[in-house]
Amino acid sequence: MYLWYLVIAAVLGAVFAGLLGWLGSGEKFAPRKFGSTVLRAILAGAVVAVGYIITPGVAGVLGIVVVFLAGAGVDVLGNRLAGSVTASQPGNNSPPKT
- CA-nearest of 5, 6, 92 to 47 is 6
Please tell me the pTM assigned to this model: 0.61
43-52 CB burial, b ≥16 within 10 A, e <16 = bbbebbeeeb
User: pLDDT at position 79, please?
Assistant: 65
Q: Render pLDDT for 33-85 as a digit per residue (tens, 0 to 9).
A: 788 878 888 887 888 777 777 776 666 777 777 777 777 777 667 666 666 55
Distance CA 29, CA 51 (A): 33
